[in-house]
């Protein structure tokens, strides 16, 4: 007779299965990738891609050997064609553990891994050096020194610069501050295309330029900008630049119909452009102080002017109700300022809160004037306007470091 398994046997089988599943990742984690198990850590710089010349390898090997003698930290460099489809983070971590980089109880190892054909790079840092070579510093080394050199085909230069940076950090120094990057030529091309479109849009809206002349000018300027700044990506810019011209023309052509909005936007853009010029050529500018706070001030001024208009309308409608609302605002200000209980700062903080409360009160008061009187119409208009607004025995790494691609 066929016997079915009992609940107890099924439970035991389930526990065994779960234990096997839990142990499998741990066993895989401590095992190096099969292809790399045959690569011994018999030298500090291992190049399986034959990219580095013998002089570069000898120089870096001597440099890392000296660093290990002085500080004890063990740094290894490996270049390989590909990780075989594995993520470079997991690949580097498994290799780091298999090679046991760093001293046993210190775990001061670092692995620089370059997957050339995958165009990926990883700096894996042991536990003992995570406070020295932080993830941020490892990312800076990759982004500022390794990948720019790799993009130009200078693999030896990029690896050498990384070895220099890691040596400086392990020795206790700091990386030099990176200079401000210049604005790329492509960005200037996009900006000029937008400005051209804006000017053409305004002239067409003002009746000063025929659309055929604007079209011919846009085509000629687009071809010139693509020839100068397009480079290898010229087909993309052949599409992007005309799009920028159209967006600029449509935006500023429409704004020209509302002159106050047009001049306000032009003034704001001019102010921001001036701040950028000063920041790049004269002195560093705090955009919080010079851009955000002025805008906040203008917004506050606009709200105050709106409140004055609403108060005037409420005064005309009913002086008694005006006095009652004003008294309510004063009482609210006293209550809020006293509740914050932070000295002079508390009373200052109460001002914008009570300003908003006053706007609500006077807007409601001026909006109930009825439809018969002219003052009621004025207040209703005001209300609607207000609401539209080699192994060292270590190998412990927690995944610290950084990755990049080029």
State the average pLDDT for the chain. Answer: 78
* pLDDT at site 185: 82
DSSP annotation of 210: -
Beta-bridged to residue 393, according to DSSP, are 103
Name the CA radius of gyration of the chain, rounded: 34
Q: What is the share, in percent, of the chain residues with pLDDT greater than 90?
A: 23
State the CB neighbour count (10 A cutoff) for residue 377.
14
* pLDDT at site 362: 82
At 319, the pLDDT band (50, 70, 90 cuts) reads confident
Phi, psi of 137 (to 5 degrees): -70, -40
Phi, psi of 178 (to 5 degrees): -75, 140
CA 318 to chain centre: 54
- Alpha carbon distances (Å) from 109 to 103, 147, 212, 303: 7, 22, 67, 61
Does the domain spanning 45-171 belong to CATH 3.40.800.10?
A: no
**C-alpha angle 206-211-214 in degrees, rounded to nearest 5:** 95
* pLDDT at site 160: 94
* pLDDT at site 114: 92
pLDDT tens digits along 65-122:
998 888 888 899 999 999 888 888 988 888 888 888 888 878 889 999 999 999 999 9
Phi, psi of 337 (to 5 degrees): -60, -40
End-to-end Cα, the chain, rounded Å:
67
pLDDT tens digits along 255-284:
888 888 888 888 888 888 887 788 777 777
* pLDDT at site 281: 77
List CB contacts of 106: < 8 A, sequence separation 6 or more: 72, 128, 394
Q: Tell the residue number behind the tokens 């660093």, with chain if given.
A: 67
DSSP annotation of 132: T
pLDDT tens digits along 371-393:
344 444 444 443 443 334 456 66
**Global pTM?**
0.43
Of residues 208 and 17, more confidence is placed in 208
Domain range annotation of the chain: 45-171, 185-281, 287-362
Q: Taking residues 123-133, report their average pLDDT.
A: 87
């Amino acid at each position: 007779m066929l016997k079915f398994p009992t609940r107890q046997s099924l439970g035991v089988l389930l526990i065994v299965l779960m234990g096997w599943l839990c142990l499998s990742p741990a066993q895989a984690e401590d095992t190096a990738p099969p292809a790399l198990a045959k690569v011994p850590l018999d030298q500090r710089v291992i190049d399986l891609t034959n990219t580095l010349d013998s002089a570069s390898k000898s120089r870096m090997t001597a440099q890392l050997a000296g660093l290990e003698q002085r500080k004890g930290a063990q740094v290894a460099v490996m270049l390989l064609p590909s990780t075989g489809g594995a993520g470079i983070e997991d690949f580097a971590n498994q290799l780091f553990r298999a090679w046991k980089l760093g001293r046993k109880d210190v775990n001061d190892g670092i692995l620089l891994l370059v997957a050339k054909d995958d165009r990926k790079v990883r700096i894996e840092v042991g536990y003992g050096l995570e406070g020295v070579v932080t993830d941020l510093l490892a990312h800076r080394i990759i982004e500022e020194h390794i990948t720019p050199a790799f993009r130009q085909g200078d693999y030896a230069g990029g690896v050498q610069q990384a070895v220099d940076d890691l040596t400086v950090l392990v020795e206790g120094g700091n990386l030099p501050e990176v200079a401000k990057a210049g604005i790329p030529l492509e960005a200037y091309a996009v900006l000029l295309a937008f400005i051209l479109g804006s000017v053409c849009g305004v002239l067409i809206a003002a009746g000063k330029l025929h659309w055929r002349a604007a079209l011919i000018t846009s085509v000629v300027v687009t071809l010139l900008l693509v020839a100068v700044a397009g480079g290898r990506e010229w087909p993309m810019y052949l599409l992007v630049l005309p799009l920028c011209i159209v967006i600029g023309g449509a935006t500023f052509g429409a704004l020209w119909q509302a002159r106050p909005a047009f001049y306000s936007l032009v003034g704001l853009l001019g102010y921001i452009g001036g701040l950028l010029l000063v920041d790049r050529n004269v002195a560093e500018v705090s955009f919080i102080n010079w851009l955000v706070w002025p805008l906040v001030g203008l917004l506050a001024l606009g709200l105050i002017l709106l409140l004055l208009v609403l108060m005037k309308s409420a005064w005309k409608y009913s002086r008694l109700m005006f006095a009652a609302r004003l008294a309510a605002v004063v009482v609210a200000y006293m209550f809020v300022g006293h509740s914050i209980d932070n000295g002079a700062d508390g009373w200052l903080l109460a001002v914008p809160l009570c300003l908003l409360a006053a706007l609500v009160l006077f807007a409601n008061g001026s909006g109930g004037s009825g439809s018969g009187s002219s003052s009621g119409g004025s207040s209703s208009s005001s209300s609607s306007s207000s609401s539209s607004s080699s192994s060292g025995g270590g190998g412990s790494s927690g995944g610290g470091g950084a990755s990049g691609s080029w």
